[in-house]
Structure 1
Amino acid sequence: MTSAPTETADIRRAPGLILAVLGLCGVVVALMQTLVIPIIPLLPHLLDSTPADTSWAVTATLLAGAVITPISGRLGDMFGKRRVMIGSLVSLVVGSVVCAIANSLMPIIVGRALQGAAVGAIPLGIAILRDVLPPKKVGGAMAVMSATLGVGAAIGMPIAAAIAQYADWHMLFVVSGVLGTVCIALTVLLIPESPVRRRGRFDLVGAMGLSLVLVTLLLPITKGGTWGWSSSLTLGLFAVSLVSLLGWGLYELRVTEPLVNLRVSARPQVLFTNFASVAVGFAMYGTSLAFPQLLMAPESTGYGFGLPMTIAGLVLAPGGLVMMALSPVSARISAWRGPRVTLMIGAVVIGAGYAMAYFTVSAVWQVMLAGMMVGAGIGLSYAAMPALIMGAVPVTQSAAANGLNSLMRSIGTSTSAAVVSVILAGMTVTVGTAVIPSLDAFRATFLVSIVASVVTLALAWLIPTRRRGSGPVDEQCSEESRRDRVEKVDEHVHG
């Protein structure tokens, strides 16, 4: 009868170590989002294919991540978050191996999809922190873990660009495979399994329905520029997505054990946080697409800086470091004034960063400073959202709820990628034989991102405030959580 308390005591003595391992896993998983960006222009030649076809190396990662994230969250709540997280990391390693030995397009697409499927490790890590750390450590730890999504994406480009420049392009995937293997080993050795589970039957129909909704939504968003926004294929897929969403929602409301608990998701604190996540994800992508192109634009344009991709990535890397550095600050603000206020502050800082970029981009250091400001706002916002979600859902649904929130961010970044790409491709100037975005195009993307930050601020303001000391969920859910905890400890002691 003493083994469970002893295990809990051991867990609580090493919160820093647990956070370090999970944070590393989060950064490595997020690196997959920007891993191939430096070699995208080279892929048609390397793989003997067309630019439209090789763009699937990015699209496959996005679609796989969007589909698997809410599913892995639900599986984590049911079968163990650590176990499913290890499975996510195994997917990353297998995908890396496939890409590392590939010399044609189809294996690259398959491998990139497997790498994208690993993104579910981040919301699973956040849920593990909630379950195994002492309560006073949870806020700051979740803030750091949430920031890894932005940090990995920010530092991924310069790292990947350097590897691609000085080594064979296959080394990108060798490095990602090694990093994934290290993460698996550390997780197996040092991360405890969460004692909180929600027993039940997996909603296979709901998972298939959600997958259909997401694929038919994100596919035309990411490929609409190539297919044509008014083409029958693009419009048809949007129509299928809408109809599928309605049918899936009705099914999820009727099933006993849904993949996504829509009644919990409809709570104002969860609903408006998820809507704000879409807006924050939209605002974030401006730094990933517009800033690098501005830095690499030829100096002869009068506004570009002519930097190579590796240097451009290094200029923007501090934005990712700022995200991580501000995570403890975010946790303190949330403890002092609540995560809603933290999210609102983050939205204001994001908007200020893009406003600076809109009015002042005459020197490299100004672009760097604007990127750092946007990164600071993203860090504050990303750190606040898990706290808002966790404060409104039962502990037995924490991984699934965080997975859905991560999905909302992905929808925001995907939509932003489509909108920003259309703006940059539609407003161009010709320099020699190159066609590049004009200064007005860059300013238009900054303006759109400012609007997204304003929308984030408005949605954050709509999130209801909670009385100090009030429980995170209604009495029924709290009782359910307590009962599941007791059952899990009893199973550990007597099993």
Structure 2
Amino acid sequence: MSRSHPARTFAILALSVGSFATLQSLVVPVLPVIQRDLGTTTSGATWTMTAWLISAAVATPLLGRVGDMVGKRRIFVLALLAVALGSIVAALAPSIGVLIVARVIQGVGGAMFPLAFGIVRDAFAAHRLPSAIGALASIIAIGSGLGTVLAGPLADVLGWRGLFLVPVVFTVTAAVLARIFIPESETRAAGGVNPWAAILLSGWLVALLLPLSTGSQWGWGSPLVVGLFVAACLLLAGWIVVELRSRQPLVDMRMMRLPGVWAMNAAAVFIGASMFAVFSFFPRFVQIPTSTGYGLGASVSESGLLMLPMLVTMAITGFLSGPLARFIGFRMQVIIASSIIAVSSVAIGLWHSTLLEVSLEAGVFGIGLGLVYAAISSVVVQSVPPTQTGVASGMNTNLRTVGSAIGAAVMTALVTGATGADGLAAESGYTDGFVTAGILALGAVAVTVLSVVLARKPRTQQAAEVVTTAESPFAESEVEVEADAEAEAEPVLA
């Protein structure tokens, strides 16, 4: 692939992923309005989010793999067009059923995240790659929060249907620009898509995310929820067995056990849970009436503005992740950033007497989130061969999505489980929720430190393991990851 215009390629990718990431959170604040206008129930309105979540979870690794095989740009453009089509159908939807179908179509666009990282890897020289990955990850993180900020003002002007039309302009433009200016990838993965692996992967993701998203409505102890969790475990076990035995695996388990992959996948679950717990409940928290004795009484627009410091700091630290790597390794960045997320989450839960105070705490939260998003993405992308970038990034994105669903479920249970005499959520529910979000972020610290410790093996043992994996197509990557982890271990343990 030509590297003559990497800046132009990056600009097109940034427009694409930024628009889609904003769309993710743009809908959440207007769900009550959608419910009223379409004459549906709270459960029906919630399904507009659940349908998107499941669709994106299934499409992300599958299309990431297809992009690795047939061309990343080609599938990237198709993902953009799917978002545009789904947005148009959503804007015109006469019923909640049609809107849910539209959200399923939009969810296919989730595949553009791993594909974008793959295209960046193809387009940029090695010395510029960390900065490019960090910047792109930062844009994705910023977009996820920007939708919450913009939803109120845009809905007042355009209505909720207009919110779906805004991304159409950007996604169609990005699709045309990508088709014209982004060269197709030259490196292709061999083989095909194992149909049984695809079915089992889709099955366990749906069986897991469905009860996580709707368990509070159906009842966590209901036979349906319990049955789905059991099915998820069985399908996951079956998927792993099929992948291990497959000559052409959808997700190569040898790749998944690389230090830079398994540790960052585990960290993604913890960070996703912590991030979404704060993202989804911070606006509600600051809108609690002052009559409760702890509420800050912010309006919908004010709650969005209170998140602006978070978005600004996310942008700054996300873009700085690559340049910082010369002094602070990416794994060390994950450890530092996750610790910052933990401290700021706990601070929001314990100290929230004024709007200024919570806004500053949100800004600190953004420092950690922007840095950790970029660092995790950089470690994953640089730990696998170019032909596996799409599927590796896709699985990491997926596991962050699973973490987000877990975080939302835990936060919902804690907040709704504690109510005051006025029927509103008690302060203790929010305090417990934000403190729990901080504890979840510490899980990312733990798994990252563990991966570094495990990488610091005696050289004789490392050499023996390299010999035993010499036949693996990932042998070279494993050596590089081990060396990288060893180089970073000193500052981590110092």
- The verdict on a shared fold, with TM-score over 0.5 as the criterion, is yes
Contact 2:56 2:107 in 1 (8 A): yes
Q: Given the alignment of the two structures, is residue 249 of structure 1 paired with residue 237 of structure 2, yes or no? A: no
Q: 1:477: which partner in 2?
A: 473
Q: 2:431: which partner in 1?
A: 443
Question: For 1:107, which of 98, 101, 108 is the aligned residue?
Answer: 98
TM-fit CA distance, 1:478 = 6.6
Question: For 2:387, which of 376, 382, 396 is the aligned residue?
Answer: 396
Q: 1:126: which partner in 2?
A: 117
Q: 2:55: which partner in 1?
A: 64
Corresponding residue SS for 1:336: coil
Contact 1:334 1:340 in 2 (8 A): no
Query: Scaled by the length of structure 1, what TM-score is found?
Result: 0.90
Query: Scaled by the length of structure 2, what TM-score is found?
Result: 0.90
Q: What is the aligned length?
A: 465
Corresponding residue SS for 2:352: coil
Question: For 2:178, which of 165, 180, 187 is the aligned residue?
Answer: 187
Q: 1:235: which partner in 2?
A: 226
Output the amino acid matched with 1:249: I
Q: Given the alignment of the two structures, is residue 407 of structure 1 paired with residue 395 of structure 2, yes or no? A: no
Say if 1:58 and 1:326 are closer, same or farther in 2 by CA, change over 3 A. same
Q: Given the alignment of the two structures, is residue 224 of structure 1 paired with residue 215 of structure 2, yes or no? A: yes
Question: For 2:287, which of 293, 296, 319 is the aligned residue?
Answer: 296
Task: State the distance in 2 between where 1:351 and 1:15 align.
Answer: 36
Question: For 2:151, which of 160, 163, 169 is the aligned residue?
Answer: 160
The one-character-per-residue Cα deviations of 1:82-139 (angstroms, maximum 9, x if unpaired) are 1111111111001001111112011100111111221111111111111111111100
Q: 1:346: which partner in 2?
A: 337
Identity %: 32
Corresponding residue SS for 1:168: helix
Task: State the distance in 2 between where 1:186 and 1:391 align.
Answer: 27
TM-fit CA distance, 1:200 = 1.4
Task: State the distance in 2 between where 1:188 and 1:258 align.
Answer: 29
Structure 1 runs of 4+ with >6 Å offset: 478-481
Task: State the distance in 2 between where 1:371 and 1:286 align.
Answer: 13
Contact 2:33 2:160 in 1 (8 A): no
Task: State the distance in 1 between where 2:430 and 2:354 align.
Answer: 15
Output the amino acid matched with 1:96: S
Q: 1:380: which partner in 2?
A: 371
Instruction: Map residues 326-365 of structure 1 onto 2, 5 A cutoff.
Output: 326-365=317-356
Corresponding residue SS for 2:189: coil
TM-fit CA distance, 1:302 = 2.2
Task: State the distance in 1 between where 2:410 and 2:262 align.
Answer: 24
Contact 2:117 2:381 in 1 (8 A): no
Say if 1:172 and 1:430 are closer, same or farther in 2 by CA, change over 3 A. farther
Task: State the distance in 1 between where 2:313 and 2:13 align.
Answer: 19
Task: State the distance in 1 between where 2:382 and 2:84 align.
Answer: 34
Q: Given the alignment of the two structures, is residue 46 of structure 1 paired with residue 42 of structure 2, yes or no? A: no
Task: State the distance in 2 between where 1:136 and 1:173 align.
Answer: 38
Corresponding residue SS for 1:167: helix
Output the amino acid matched with 1:54: A
Task: State the distance in 2 between where 1:286 and 1:367 align.
Answer: 15
Q: Which segments of 5 or more consecutive residues in structure 2 lack a partner in the other structure?
A: 457-461, 478-494
Say if 1:480 and 1:280 are closer, same or farther in 2 by CA, change over 3 A. closer
Contact 1:32 1:116 in 2 (8 A): no
Contact 1:32 1:115 in 2 (8 A): no
Task: State the distance in 1 between where 2:326 and 2:74 align.
Answer: 31
Q: 2:487: which partner in 1?
A: none
TM-fit CA distance, 1:290 = 2.1
Q: Which segments of 5 or more consecutive residues in structure 1 lack a partner in the other structure?
A: 1-6, 482-495
Corresponding residue SS for 2:302: helix
Contact 2:211 2:229 in 1 (8 A): yes
Contact 2:266 2:447 in 1 (8 A): yes
Q: 2:481: which partner in 1?
A: none
Say if 1:113 and 1:317 are closer, same or farther in 2 by CA, change over 3 A. farther
Task: State the distance in 1 between where 2:326 and 2:228 align.
Answer: 44
Q: Given the alignment of the two structures, is residue 261 of structure 1 paired with residue 257 of structure 2, yes or no? A: no
